[in-house]
Structure 1
Amino acid sequence: MDPETNGSTLGQAAQRSLDVFPAGSNGEFNLPKDLTTVLSRGKDCYVWDVDGKWYLDFSMGWGTNLVGHAREEVVAAVTEQAAHGSNFAYVNEKSLQLAEEIKRMSPAVEYLRFCSSGTEAIMYCERLARAFTCRSKVLKFEGAYHGANEIGVTSLFPKGLLDYPTPDPSSAGIEHSVKHHVLVAPYNDLSMTTEIVEQHRGDLAAVIVEPLHRCTPPMDGFLQGLRDLTKKHDVLLIFDEVVTGFRLAYGGAQEYYGVIPDLVGYGKALGGGYPIGVFGGRADIMSLVNEDLLGKDERYVWTASSLGCNTISASAALAALQIYRRTGTYQQLHHIGRYVRNKMKECLEKNDISGHVIGDGPLAQVLFTEKLVYNYREQKLQENTARRRAMMVGLFKRGVFLNPMGTKLYLSLKHTEEVCDQFVEIFDQTLQEIKENEKITTRS
């Protein structure tokens, strides 16, 4: 199939979407108005809009559908459970089974609780760290996203390149809560991070890190260096495994990189396409959520979730975990990631465009930089952002569904070499268009 023969103009559904949603989306897509899209269904690694146009999906629900859209095993598990009740806001048979498997799988987890999203999971990790240490500050890495909570969006897209460790809110409405309580360091710079931690160790509750920072891999020794540093100063280490969990290895980044944090948050791929969040860690930290501490211990941490352990999400997650445990799953995910990254690199070279393709496992990101970069600030100073925007919108126009504001392409167990070849052909066409448009701009 050729996505370019499958196009449609702005239709009634798209206009309806623009009438009720700011920018016509539920957040962060920032598409040109004429590309406003309303989806109707998805299967494997494809999605269809209400007008029948299909797309190669390289967003996969922002990574939630690692098993693929409408995966048969997940659909069967959810359908069977739906007849027996969807939510009791209480521990149920499915959530108990799921909790036991997560505890068995995750080296960091001695106790855990469920919530409804990765954003919530990381928020609770941060709250627990502050309560346990009786300190107020959290250190994060510039450019990292830890969900739509205050710390999560701080210095996500910094407006200026402030001196470390000064935080730069990327959203209005949070300045008052992060100005004096969030520290920012450059990812992969252990020396600078050590300096900041040692300077603020008396007030620092935790260091939080995406082990794979967006798509930037950790340099040798960086994660272990963080582990050693935080232990030395009695600072907690939080792994945000919302993206890396179940994607790099069954045991996530902890297994893949061999570093164990004090607290960890999960979401996305765990749910098999359904909403879920999990936070867990050391027993002495997690025990602060025990309700009998209310009014008795000033370190008591309130947590609750109406939908956090619902039977539908738990059933979907159990089905997804069964798929992840199958022999060859992670060989397949790492192979398809390497395959598409190598093909994209060849495309850049063929078109004589300076850039790099980074990532690990089933993740990929294009950087239009002369040199390979290792953290957000290096990227911001070097990257041709106009070219990146043109590439993302160009791919979308040609039938690749993705987030034009995003930093990564998500692949799934349903992405094959054939699918990736189709994508790379579109990628090549998009690069050619970009080069031609840049020539025209230069001549004019």
Structure 2
Amino acid sequence: MNELWILYLLCCVTAIFILRKIAIRLRLSKAKHKSMRGHSKWSRRIAGWIKFFDYSPAEYFCVDGAPADISKQRSNAFNTLVDKVKQQSKKTINQYKQVSNDISDVQFTSMYRVPFPFRTHLPEVFKLGSMINQSQGVRVKDLDDQWRYDLSGSYGVNVFGYEFYKSCIKQGSEKVEALGPALGSYHPLIADNVSKIKAISQLDEVSFHMSGTEAVMQAVRLARYHTKRTHLVRLCGAYHGWWDGVQPGIGNRRKTNDVYTLADLSEQTLNVLSTRDDIACVLINPLQAFHPNADSASDASLIASDRATHFDKAAYTTWLKRIRKICTDRNIVLIFDEVFTGFRLSYRGAQGYFGIQADMVTYGKTLGGGLPVGVLAGKHELMKRFKDTHPVDVSLARGTFNSHPYVLGAMNVFLERIAQPEIQALYKTVEQTWQQRTTRFNQRLKEADLPIKITNMHSILSVSYTLPCAYNWMLQFYLRANGLELSWLGTGRFIMSFDYTDEEVDQVIELFIESATQMKNDAWWWQSPALTNQSIKQQFLKDMLSASFPSLRKWIGGRAPTTLTHAKTTNSDKVYE
């Protein structure tokens, strides 16, 4: 009888243990966003299954079911735009061609300017990126002496305007020119820089790195080192650099699974943070407030017209405060990745903008005064790289160019200048200024009867499309041909510098209106009762599945094999005759 009771108790304990494990796993699963972005392992698997396909010249201009006359009109407009760009940019195109096969980043960005089935027959002049040799105010100049208004923001570096950073670099170089690029030792400017960064971040210590990605790497390593916990939590869609350790989905080949990607603005996520004991840190990219649970918008993923942003400052502030409390209660390190938002959203970056104090903050881009840098600020107890009682147990982080004298010089000028009264006054009004400009932008779009809406978070803008369309990605080429400089993401994000005047913004708006009107007149936004965002995406999915699983084509309903060709290159700039 006693043996039976012991066996019964063992079975009960085992069942409770298993049920508890299942409950913990279910809690984690519920906290993941339902999209593939929230399921890193599955996104990697599915990415490996998807085969390349392209639309043939006969299909290229009518994948949305447009009739022959509309297809022909689009083709003619397409070729006319190609000819215009070739005439505008002969020197720039030739120079870019010389480097395109030698620089891997150029090859990547050239291939990902449009959804991939349109890539093969995209003319080379559209694939090529920018080659510029001068900036002046809010404009940049290419090798053919064409000036364009810059909407790219230099990946976020350009907060205050190119003239501002040119002077930071020049004055900073003069401060350190007697030393030159001496490395290992510190230039004495480092003390003043550290003092200023500590005051801005309201944290205790600072370390210098060569990029924002490196600063994030160090923050995460130190959080794990000091908490003795294994896992990082990132929010769905958030970008924290190209390092595998914070990019667990597509593009990551690490076998280690030590990152939880959880849903933004989710009670289930708070539940996981409140109950798990393996979480070392929560990594926040404050820009995610602009598009919670979504990746940064890119024309390469612009299949239909369902791009959207959902910025609600009050709601996101409340959300971050709740995360802050849980992190405090559970001894989880709260890290703000301010590589992009630092010194843009406010003098204290997102910490000041949302009113949240983090345990660690990473900076980059603009803080270098125009030169590359990564900076980590944190609490004393988190920044220490060794343990007093275990001298061999260290968290090593060094770099040849950490604290480079010329970077320290430009940074010093930058920090001095943004503390001046005129910049401090600018910080108080800049958000309202860009809100008013966005409202004016949308009013002009409405007056012109264009199917476009501009959304913004502070001085960061994005383009949304209000009619179903499979060709919204074409707008980037019209904009560039008419004098607007975009990043390789296209219309997904415009990063505006603070030195834009109202008159210059009005010029940008009118050039945008002109470009979109041309696109409208060229029939890219043709409509039919059967055309919906859902129908466009469904057909794209069928085509993709048909290419990946040819034996299932007749059940899937994808396009015929003759329209799904293998990857190839074309030397022609004429797609359709």
**Structure-1-length-normalised TM-score:** 0.82
Corresponding residue for 2:510?
Answer: 425
- Please say if 1:211 is aligned against 2:286: yes
Q: In structure 2, do the counterparts of structure 1 residues 29 and 77 end up closer, same or farther at CA, with 3 Å as the change threshold? A: farther
2:253 aligned residue (173, 198, 216)? 173
Corresponding residue for 1:260?
Answer: 357
Q: Secondary structure at the match of 2:376?
A: strand
Q: CA deviation at 1:416?
A: 1.4
1:301 aligned residue (395, 420, 427)? 395
Deviations 1:409-441 (A, max 9, x none): 112232111221111112212332443433447
Q: CA deviation at 1:106?
A: 1.1
Q: Is the 8 A contact 2:236 2:262 kept in 1?
A: yes
Q: CA deviation at 1:302?
A: 1.0
Q: Secondary structure at the match of 1:212?
A: helix
Corresponding residue for 1:185?
Answer: 262
Q: Is the 8 A contact 2:172 2:412 kept in 1?
A: no
Q: Is the 8 A contact 1:56 1:423 kept in 2?
A: yes
- Please say if 1:272 is aligned against 2:369: yes
1:105 aligned residue (194, 200, 203)? 200
Deviates more, 1:37-46 or 1:92-101: 37-46
Deviations 1:64-86 (A, max 9, x none): 12232243531431341352213
Cα distance in 2, alignment partners of residues 23 and 296 from structure 1:
42
Q: Is the 8 A contact 2:475 2:519 kept in 1?
A: yes
- Which letter maps to 2:478? G
- Which letter maps to 2:125? D
Q: CA deviation at 1:95?
A: 2.1
Cα distance in 2, alignment partners of residues 19 and 202 from structure 1:
49
- Which letter maps to 2:484? V
Q: Secondary structure at the match of 2:509?
A: helix
- Please say if 1:329 is aligned against 2:426: yes
Q: In structure 2, do the counterparts of structure 1 residues 67 and 231 end up closer, same or farther at CA, with 3 Å as the change threshold? A: same
Corresponding residue for 1:34?
Answer: 125
Q: CA deviation at 1:296?
A: 2.1
2:319 aligned residue (222, 231, 237)? 222
Cα distance in 2, alignment partners of residues 105 and 261 from structure 1:
12
Corresponding residue for 2:486?
Answer: 402
Deviations 1:186-237 (A, max 9, x none): 2233x131133245x2111111111231734452401101101222222111
Deviations 1:260-283 (A, max 9, x none): 111110011111211011012111
- Which letter maps to 1:7? Q
Deviations 1:233-261 (A, max 9, x none): 22111101111111111111111211111
Q: Is the 8 A contact 1:66 1:272 kept in 2?
A: no
Alignment of 1:73-112 (within 5 A): 73-81=167-175, 83-84=177-178, 85-107=180-202, 109-112=203-206
1:147 aligned residue (227, 241, 245)? 241
- Which letter maps to 2:264? Y
Q: In structure 2, do the counterparts of structure 1 residues 105 and 24 end up closer, same or farther at CA, with 3 Å as the change threshold? A: closer
Q: In structure 2, do the counterparts of structure 1 residues 228 and 388 end up closer, same or farther at CA, with 3 Å as the change threshold? A: farther
- Which letter maps to 1:210? N
- Which letter maps to 1:203? D
Structure number with higher helix proportion: 2
Aligned pair count?
Answer: 406
- Which sections of structure 1, spanning at least 5 residues, go unmatched? 155-168, 371-383
Q: Is the 8 A contact 1:332 1:413 kept in 2?
A: no
Q: In structure 2, do the counterparts of structure 1 residues 23 and 236 end up closer, same or farther at CA, with 3 Å as the change threshold? A: closer
Cα distance in 2, alignment partners of residues 368 and 294 from structure 1:
60
Q: CA deviation at 1:135?
A: 1.3
- Which letter maps to 1:425? E
- Which letter maps to 2:135? G
- Which letter maps to 2:211? S
Q: Is the 8 A contact 2:360 2:377 kept in 1?
A: yes
Corresponding residue for 1:374?
Answer: none
Q: In structure 2, do the counterparts of structure 1 residues 387 and 247 end up closer, same or farther at CA, with 3 Å as the change threshold? A: farther
Q: CA deviation at 1:145?
A: 0.8
1:194 aligned residue (247, 263, 270)? 270
1:17 aligned residue (78, 82, 99)? 99
Cα distance in 1, alignment partners of residues 133 and 111 from structure 2:
17
Q: Secondary structure at the match of 1:259?
A: coil
Corresponding residue for 2:458?
Answer: 361
Cα distance in 2, alignment partners of residues 51 and 171 from structure 1:
36
Cα distance in 2, alignment partners of residues 141 and 322 from structure 1:
34
Cα distance in 1, alignment partners of residues 137 and 111 from structure 2:
22
Cα distance in 2, alignment partners of residues 363 and 334 from structure 1:
10
Q: Is the 8 A contact 2:169 2:370 kept in 1?
A: no
**Structure-2-length-normalised TM-score:** 0.64
- Which letter maps to 1:316? A
Q: Is the 8 A contact 1:46 1:55 kept in 2?
A: yes
Cα distance in 1, alignment partners of residues 108 and 186 from structure 2:
31
2:437 aligned residue (308, 320, 340)? 340
Q: Secondary structure at the match of 1:239?
A: strand
- Please say if 1:49 is aligned against 2:139: no
Cα distance in 2, alignment partners of residues 422 and 411 from structure 1:
14
Deviates more, 1:268-277 or 1:349-358: 349-358
Q: Secondary structure at the match of 1:227?
A: helix
Q: Secondary structure at the match of 2:220?
A: helix
Q: Is the 8 A contact 1:59 1:402 kept in 2?
A: yes
- Which sections of structure 2, spanning at least 5 residues, go unmatched? 1-83, 114-121, 292-310, 532-577
1:392 aligned residue (444, 467, 476)? 476
Q: CA deviation at 1:25?
A: 5.7
Deviates more, 1:94-103 or 1:384-393: 384-393
Q: Is the 8 A contact 2:371 2:410 kept in 1?
A: yes
- Which letter maps to 1:8? S
